[in-house]
């Protein structure tokens, strides 16, 4: 079972991202859970969302305390929130950030897991034309976890976008471009 914890802020779409990931994994025949931890529902307040992905039915219904992977949607959370709490030593953390790798490394100097960075917001602005980093983050975490190949991801996302954007077909290709770029541009620091 893979367990993933998302850290974001209210309004940034961490919940949506976790549900999207659940969707994508579901489409490959996995058993999935995608759920947010609702706190005070305020724009900008730190929030957490979770994913479990497995080949077997998932029965556990608690939050995730020892995630294999952590995704940080907003790098300003690193510090105020202990984003790496309980993380599997063999796991990894993925951060959406435009900061220099050395700066990120310094921020996470106490962490002994692999650190991946993606500038998902920049990709989103350059492809979709708005700061919707979800699609890019999703592609990046899929690459980091090795959940599926680039080809499978592209096929899967295309199907899902065709359905989701049936009335706005013009946004499908920009989103696909974000998927491809994020898959290629995510890197370990």
Partner 1 sequence: MSIKERLSGNEAVAYAMKQINPDVVPVYPITPSTEIPQYFSSFVANGTVDTEFVPVESEHSAMSAAIGASAAGARVMSATSSQGLALMYEMLYIASGMRLPIVLTCVNRAISAPINIHNDHSDSMGARDCGFIQLYCETNQEAYDNIIMAVKIAELAKLPVMVCYDGFITSHSVENIELLEDEKVKAFVGEYTPEHYLLNPDEHVSMGPLDLQNYFFEHRKQLADAMTNAKEIIAKVSKEFGDISGRYYDAFESYKLDDAEYGLVVLNSTAGTAKTVVDKLRDKGIKVGLLKPRMFRPMPHKELAESLKHLEAVAVMDKADSVNAMSGPVYTELVTALHKHDVHIPVSNYIYGLGGRDVKATDIEKVFRDILAAKDNKENLNGTFYLGVRE
Spatial CA neighbour of 172 closest among 157, 160, 161 = 161
CB 99 to partner 1: min, Å:
32
Q: CA 169, CA 6: separation in Å to the nearest integer?
A: 29
CB 64 to partner 1: min, Å:
10
Are residues 159 and 85 in contact, defined by beta-carbon separation less than 8 angstroms? Answer: no
Q: Which stretch binds partner 1 (CB under 8 A): 15-23, 75-83, 95-103, 108-116?
A: 15-23
Binding status of residue 10 toward partner 1 by CB under 8 A = no
CB 110 to partner 1: min, Å:
24
| Number of neighbours of residue 60 by Cβ within 10 angstroms | 11
Q: Which stretch binds partner 1 (CB under 8 A): 18-26, 73-81, 93-101, 154-162?
A: 18-26
**Residue 33 or 68 having the CB closest to partner 1:** 33
Q: Tokens standing for 124? A: 């989103």
Are residues 80 and 107 in contact, defined by beta-carbon separation less than 8 angstroms? Answer: no
> Which residues fall within 8 angstroms of residue 12, CB to CB, at 6 or more apart?
73, 74, 133
Name which of residues 31 to 60 contact partner 1 (CB under 8 A).
31-36, 38, 57-60
Q: Tokens standing for 2? A: 């893979």
Name which of residues 57 to 116 contact partner 1 (CB under 8 A).
57-63, 65
- Site residues (CB under 8 A) for partner 1? 19, 22-23, 26, 31-36, 38, 57-63, 65
């Amino acid at each position: 079972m893979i367990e993933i914890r998302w850290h974001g802020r209210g309004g940034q779409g961490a919940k949506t991202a976790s549900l999207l990931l659940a969707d994508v994994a579901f489409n490959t025949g996995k058993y999935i859970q995608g759920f947010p931890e609702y706190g005070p529902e305020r724009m900008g307040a730190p929030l957490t969302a979770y994913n479990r992905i497995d080949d077997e039915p998932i029965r556990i219904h608690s939050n995730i305390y020892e995630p294999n992977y952590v995704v940080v949607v907003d790098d300003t959370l690193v510090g105020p929130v202990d984003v790496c709490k309980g993380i599997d030593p063999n796991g990894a953390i993925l951060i959406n950030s435009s900061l220099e790798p050395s700066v990120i490394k310094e921020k996470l100097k106490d962490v002994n897991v692999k650190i991946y960075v993606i500038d998902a917001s920049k990709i989103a602005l350059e492809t979709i034309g708005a700061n919707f980093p979800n699609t890019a983050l999703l592609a990046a975490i899929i690459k980091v976890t090795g959940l599926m190949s680039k080809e499978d991801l592209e096929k899967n996302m295309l199907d899902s976008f065709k359905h989701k954007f049936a009335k706005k077909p013009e946004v499908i290709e920009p989103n696909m471009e974000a998927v491809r770029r994020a898959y290629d541009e995510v890197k370990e620091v």
